[in-house]
Amino acid sequence: MLDTASLKDLLLQPQDVVITTHHKPDGDAMGSSLGMYNYLVQKGHRVRVITPTDYPDFLHWLPGNPEVTIYTQNPDLSKQLIADASIIFCLDFNALSRINDMDELVRQSNAVKVMIDHHLEPEGFDDYRHWSINASATAQLVYDFITVLMDDRNLINKDVATCLYTGIMTDTGSFRFATTTAQVHHIIADLINAGAENWHIHQLVYDNFTENRLRFLGYCLLNKLVVLPEFRTAFISVSKQELEQYQIKTGDTEGIVNYALTINGIRLAAFIVERSDKVKLSLRSTGDFPANEICKKYFNGGGHRNAAGGTSEESLEQTVNRFKSILPDYKNLLIQ
Ligand code: 5GP
Ligand code: MN
């Protein structure tokens, strides 16, 4: 393991830096990556962000977005950049399986691997770690990294601030979750002071849907929502055909799971969607209920206690039945 002083020394010389994040990156993944990008370019490094897959259109306005390389669309260039990197920043994930086909490329690289993350149980591929499961978002840890560990508060310019604000905003459900401490609000205030236009960022991220996406949401709530009061659980499942019918793209399904949690008394919510190769589950819970335990135990996934995800190789119908069959085991926890 590298200590902070050694990493700081390393960053005094221009480096070839690759920043990567988990597949299907969300607001925190992209906000952290591009926040770090906009910071490191000011220090004179050659920096590239590589995402394992594409990501939602509502994140494409982020400062630095044109510099992002998508691995699945540009595998040769991505491989070359990873091979040439002297430092690889791994942001918002802590197991290399989360970067899909880039897994072995990063594992075998001789670059110094810096992991900044807030998920449970790091796998241990990193040379330097800034990790806390108490952080509201990886973007919060990137803020700490820049301001405290690297002592570079003066480099939090408007672009860095905008990206980090976006990461914290999206991972805290717009500053609603229990992780949103007073300290988080202090950081947010500092980011606004540094130029983040809070009202504009909210508009760009949340008021940016297509008509189809809004109608799809209506369809899900009216026709697809299943409520199981005896388990204080509600879920929505959608097939590939339904996604096609509404021309649903990457990112359009994000956040729909949260609507199921807005019903009074519901403690566990799920969104189960049939993708081209497998079925993907998104779980959300309130209080102490361990959504991540269900994902880890039954759906080859994981995440946070209140926001977790996983996948299933079974059909959509079988996956829904499996999900329902698990609930009796958790009944006591759900109804307490
Ligand atoms: P989402 O439901 O938005 O896809 O994911 C919510 C959270 O669950 C993510 O922040 C991530 O921590 C976790 N997560 C989602 N899918 C997976 C998965 O397949 N494996 C693991 N380990 N975690 C996941
Ligand atoms: Mn995150």
Write the pLDDT tens digit of every residue in 147-160: 999 999 999 999 99
| Segment 107-135 mean pLDDT | 97
What residues does 234 pair with on adjacent strands?
Answer: 227, 269
Q: Assign domain 211-335 to a CATH class.
A: alpha beta
Minimum CA distance residue for ligand 1 atom 8: 308
Please give the distance, rounded to the nearest whole angstrom, from the Cα atom of residue 311 to the centre of ligand 1: 9
Taking the CA of residue 304 as reference, the ligand 1 atom at the shortest distance is 12
Mutating to test ligand 1, I would choose from 304, 305, 311, 323 the residue with most ligand atoms within 8 A of its C-beta, which is 304
Please give the distance, rounded to the nearest whole angstrom, from the Cα atom of residue 171 to the centre of ligand 2: 6
Q: Is 272 a pocket residue for ligand 1 (Cβ < 6 Å)?
A: no
Of 306, 270, 310, 302, residue with least CA distance to 290: 306
* pLDDT digits 0-9 by tens, 5-39: 999 999 999 999 999 999 999 999 999 999 999 99
Using alpha carbons only, give the angle 236, 204, 254 rounded to the nearest 5 degrees.
15
- Least confident among 95-104, 177-186, 246-255: 246-255
Q: Is 303 a pocket residue for ligand 1 (Cβ < 6 Å)?
A: yes
d(CA 301, CA 294): 9
Query: Could you tell me the sign of the dihedral formed by the alpha carbons of 150, 154, 157, 161, in that order?
Result: positive
* pLDDT digits 0-9 by tens, 56-65: 999 999 999 9
Rounded to the nearest 5°, which phi and psi values hold at 324?
-65, -35
d(CA 269, CA 14): 47
pLDDT over threshold 90, residue 2:
yes
Please give the distance, rounded to the nearest whole angstrom, from the Cα atom of residue 249 to the centre of ligand 1: 18
Write down the pLDDT at residue 209.
87
* Average pLDDT in the chain: 97
Percent of the chain as helix, strand, coil, to the nearest 5: 45, 20, 35
Please give the distance, rounded to the nearest whole angstrom, from the Cα atom of residue 231 to the centre of ligand 1: 23
> For 315, which DSSP code?
-
| Segment 295-310 mean pLDDT | 95
**pTM score:** 0.93
DSSP 84-114: H-SEEEEES-SSGGGGGGGHHHHHH--SEEE
pLDDT over threshold 80, residue 70:
yes
| Segment 220-228 mean pLDDT | 98
Half-sphere exposure of 87 (CA within 13 A, CB side): 24
Which pLDDT band holds residue 216 (cuts at 50, 70, 90)?
very high
Question: First CA to last CA across the chain, in angstroms?
Answer: 43
Write down the pLDDT at residue 251.
83
* pLDDT digits 0-9 by tens, 274-292: 998 899 999 999 999 999 9
**b/e per residue 84-107 (b: at least 16 CB within 10 A):** ebbbbbbbbbbbbebbeebeebbe
Per DSSP bridges, beta strands 46-51 and 279-285 are unpaired
Q: Where in the chain is the domain with CATH 3.90.1640.10?
A: 4-206
pLDDT over threshold 80, residue 250:
no
167 Cβ contact list (under 8 Å, min separation 6): 27, 28, 29, 30, 31, 32, 35, 137, 138, 139, 140, 142
Q: Is 119 a pocket residue for ligand 1 (Cβ < 6 Å)?
A: yes
Please give the distance, rounded to the nearest whole angstrom, from the Cα atom of residue 222 to the centre of ligand 2: 30
Rounded to the nearest 5°, which phi and psi values hold at 288?
-85, 0
d(CA 237, CA 224): 6
Cβ(28)–Cβ(62) below 8 Å: no
Q: Where in the chain is the domain with CATH 3.10.310.30?
A: 211-335
Which pLDDT band holds residue 336 (cuts at 50, 70, 90)?
confident
Q: Is 307 a pocket residue for ligand 1 (Cβ < 6 Å)?
A: yes
Q: Assign domain 4-206 to a CATH class.
A: alpha beta
H/E stretch holding 298: helix 291-298
